[in-house]
Amino acid sequence: MKIYRANIIFTPSPDKLEVIPHGYIVVGSNGLIEGIYTELPENMDWRRQVIDFGDKLLIPAFNDLHVHAPQYRNLGLALDLELLPWLNTYTFTEETKYADPEYARRMYRRFVHELWMQGTMRAAVFGTIHPEATRILADLFIQAGMGARVGLVGMNRNCPDILSNTTESLMEGMRMLKAHLDEHGNNGLVSPIITPRFIPSCTPDMLAALGNYAAETGLPVQSHLSENRSEIDWVRELEPDSVCYGDAYNRYGLFGQTPTLMAHCCYSGEEEIALMKQNGVYVVHCPMSNSNLSSGIAPIRTYLEKGVRVAMGTDVSAGHNMSMLRAMQYAIQVSKLHYAASHGEVRFLTLSEVFYLATKAGGLFFGKVGSFEPGYEFDALLVDDHYLNYDNYTLEQRLERYLYLGDDRDIKRRFCRGVELTEPVY
């Protein structure tokens, strides 16, 4: 058992920050939170054990629900291009390099290190079509002690031959990855996720095989949905029998039949929204990416009001920064531009709402993660904001200033499932 004392801040619900000045959090040896206290019970044994972090902030660690590991080298590059030239010139070119396990290891070490640095303790990650590179990526998460759903990518049409796998090779790779992680995945901390790139990249045959595999294994699914208008038109041509883009996944059992993440959803219509809600599909909001690729602004307020699940992602490298702090800033800001464009009709997102999205909402995809409540896994960041706290700020204001002004320098300790993680080698 460990007992930490700090200024504790978290969001059990989206509408309010829970703030406990100099509170205590008790973590069991299984990594689960046993209790939160403003004052410790009168128990001398407990008092002796308190690890006092002083005036620092203790917050849930971040969860990035959509990020492309093999695009790490391209972070901050080619952002003057639109989706298709960006994809063909930069993204696909880079992803082909992951046929080389040594290249993969070199870059993935940096990628996992950067996630750690930014305080993202859990991530849903796209790899490439390459089974060995993807296993290396999973192993790096295991070594780092971080949580991940790691996706071997399926793609066999409308893409370069060199980046195309077959349904057979994909399924064989998936089975190998699953067997490997069933055995070595740190008790489920690292596990596979079924990852068709998106409808235009996958033949019906591949989608059907992945849907069957989801039904057989219960593994979760991640992909892209309704990111921009021309993509939606394209899917309509490719899957004319589907009611909407989301239905194209749904018909193959890849839309909430098991837990499902769909990135973007900038232009989901009524039918798609209803289907997402009915099936419990997560919208993964990636506002940095949607700005950088000129996709538009996803109507997150609408999704929240309709009861659709929403989480957040950086979508590196269409998102230009691995920091979930930045993702939160953009989520608020683009919602304000939407608010302005709607002449004040659609309320913008608040700070506590986006903090909830980046912590608890995303965390729930991984289990009881992302909040400081009894029974939750202790995923946490210790934040030293003293350089921002030079005047009389409240704890709520200190959190706000950290979210807007802070960066990786401020994170002094990182915990995942109760374990304090040291810096991964890179």
69 binds its own copies (CB under 8 A): no
CB nearer its own copies, residue 149 or residue 320: 320
Q: Least Å distance between CB 298 and its own copies?
A: 11
Does 77 bind its own copies (CB under 8 A)? Our answer is yes
What is the contact mask toward its own copies in residues 242 to 281, using x (rule: CB under 8 A)?
Answer: ----------------------------------------
Q: Which amino acid is at 149?
A: R
Q: In the set 137, 297, 298, 411, which binds its own copies (CB under 8 A)?
A: 297
Counts for the chain of helices (H) and strands (E), in that order? 16, 17
Q: Which is nearer to its own copies, 19 or 50 (CB)?
A: 19
Give the max Cα distance, the chain: 70
Helix/strand/coil for 419:
strand
425 counts as binding its own copies under rule CB under 8 A: no
Stretch that binds its own copies, among 130-138, 249-257, 344-352, 363-371 (CB under 8 A): 344-352
Q: Is 213 in the site for its own copies (CB under 8 A)?
A: no
| Residue 135 touches its own copies, criterion: CB under 8 A | no
- Give the alpha-carbon dihedral of 50, 53, 59, 61, to 10 degrees: -90
Is residue 113 within the footprint of its own copies (CB under 8 A)?
Answer: no
Distance of closest approach, residue 422 Cβ to its own copies, in angstroms: 19
- Nearer Cβ to its own copies, position 116 or 402? 402
| Single residue of 39, 45, 102, 391 touching its own copies by CB under 8 A | 391
Output the 3-class SS for 216-264: HHCCCEEEEECCCHHHHHHHHHHCCCCCCHHHHHHCCCCCCCCCEEEEE
Residue from 351, 349, 372, 347 nearest 360 by CA = 372
Question: Whole-number minimum distance, CB 319 to its own copies, in Å?
Answer: 10
Closest approach, Cβ 79 to its own copies, in A, equals 7
Cis amide bond preceding 317, omega within 30: yes
CA-closest candidate to residue 286, choices 309, 326, 308, 319: 319
Interaction between residue 39 and its own copies (CB under 8 A): no
- For residue 318, which of 399, 228, 415, 254 has the smallest C-alpha distance? 228
By CB under 8 A, tell whether 87 contacts its own copies.
no
Closest CB 116 distance from its own copies, rounded Å: 15
CA-atom Rg of the chain in angstroms: 21
Neighbours of 407 (CB within 10 A): 14
Q: What b/e readout covers 330-345, taking b as 16+ CB neighbours within 10 angstroms?
A: bbbebbeebbeeeeee
The residues binding its own copies (CB under 8 A) are 73, 75-77, 79-80, 110, 228, 288, 291-297, 320-321, 329-330, 332-334, 336-337, 339-341, 348, 350-351, 388, 390-391, 397, 400-405, 407, 409
